[in-house]
Amino acid sequence: MNIKPFDQAVSLACNALAGLRDSPAGSLPRASRASLERLVSAKAAPAVAAASRSKAERLAALHAEMSHCTNCPHLVKNRSNIVFGVGNPQARLMFVGEAPGSDEDLQGEPFVGKAGQLLTKIIEVMGFQRTDVYLANVLKCRPDMPPGEGDNRKPTPGEMATCLPYLIRQIEIIEPQCLVALGATAMEGLLGKPVVMREARGHWHTFQGLPLMATYHPAYLLHKPSLSEKRKVWEDMLLVLERLGEPISTRQRGFFLPK
């Protein structure tokens, strides 16, 4: 991520001031030199302070900003909570889903329902804890449902495009080494185009300059819990572990293979 703590004018002033400090005495009146130093200090201080904040603090500030978001009035009207994200601000690995479901909307945390519980198991089999990685969705509000219907619906491309800048800012703060997109809809939200998961999974893609692995959403495995489908997801996770430089045991390589 490129951090630019000074705007162009301040940067030029800093360079000028540095040159003046090295110049012979008397080349600039003392009062003018002092005024320039105060200007640079006053302009630079807020940016330097922002850049020096911890990742956790920057995420908290972004979360607070998002809590006032009204870009999608129909979602704002029906949401219980913004589902920002959860995990380690220093995470090397970040999982991205499509949108919160009903459980996530009520608790304000992503991946807490049955699919989330399965994702947690996958993370643990990889050798991590849920608190080691970072979990988020493209869309931060639960897609609204018609009155009387309690199921979840797929977010629209427009909804995801509207919310995507928030996810990008999360990624810029966390600076993970790689991303995992859970499901075709999440991939569509990231790449801005339809994706066929059976073609996309198992291959590395790129998002915001980061390696992006596509795999099936855990909810898919709940509906199709066959050994062969579990193995496909696991093969994708093995590629992720290799990309991260994590050791992979013989036992791990053999998970979900026919005996």
Mean pLDDT by 10 residues, the chain (259 residues): 40 44 47 49 49 89 96 94 97 98 94 96 98 98 78 92 98 98 98 96 97 97 96 98 98 93
Contact 90, 59 (CB under 8 A): no
Query: What is the C-alpha to C-alpha distance for residues 221 and 43, in angstroms, rounded to an integer?
Result: 53
Q: How far is CA 20 from CA 43, 119, 212, in A?
A: 19, 58, 48
pLDDT of residue 152: 83
pLDDT of residue 145: 77
pLDDT of residue 138: 98
Give the up-direction half-sphere exposure of residue 11: CA atoms within 13 A in the CB hemisphere.
Answer: 5
Backbone φ, ψ for residue 33 (5° rounding): -60, -45
pLDDT of residue 52: 63
Query: What is the C-alpha to C-alpha distance for residues 156 and 256, in angstroms, rounded to an integer?
Result: 34
pLDDT of residue 39: 46
pLDDT of residue 20: 41
Q: Could you tell me which of 61, 66, 90 has the C-alpha nearest to residue 76?
A: 66
Domains, the chain, in order of start with CATH, read 8-52 (no CATH), 55-253 (3.40.470.10)
